[in-house]
């Protein structure tokens, strides 16, 4: 890890991301869905920041895959 603690996106950043992705994919986000979409992007970035902030050593390995 680089020592930089990731920060969750702000609502403004999430909205900008939504707009850019919408344009790039030619996939409009209907007005009634915009608030929820932005909230979900903020929530996902918060979860990602939490996971990415966990310190890992150079020798840490991913867990094996368990199948039932």
| C-alpha distances out from residue 12 to 42, 45, 48, 62, 63, Å | 10, 13, 18, 34, 36
Choose between 30 and 67: higher pLDDT.
30
Average pLDDT of the chain, as a whole number: 91
pTM attached to this predicted model: 0.78
- CA–CA distance, 9 with 45 (Å, rounded to integer): 6
The tens digit of pLDDT for each residue in 30-49 reads: 999 999 999 999 999 999 99
Q: State the pLDDT at residue 64.
A: 86
| C-alpha distances out from residue 24 to 41, 42, 48, 51, 53, Å | 17, 20, 23, 28, 29
């Amino acid at each position: 890890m680089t020592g930089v603690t990731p920060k969750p996106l702000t609502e403004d950043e999430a909205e900008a991301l939504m707009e850019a992705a919408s344009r790039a994919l030619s996939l409009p986000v209907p007005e009634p869905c915009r608030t929820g979409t932005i909230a979900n992007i903020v929530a996902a970035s918060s979860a990602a920041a939490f996971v990415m902030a966990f310190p890992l050593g150079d020798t840490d390995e991913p867990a094996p895959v368990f199948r039932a």
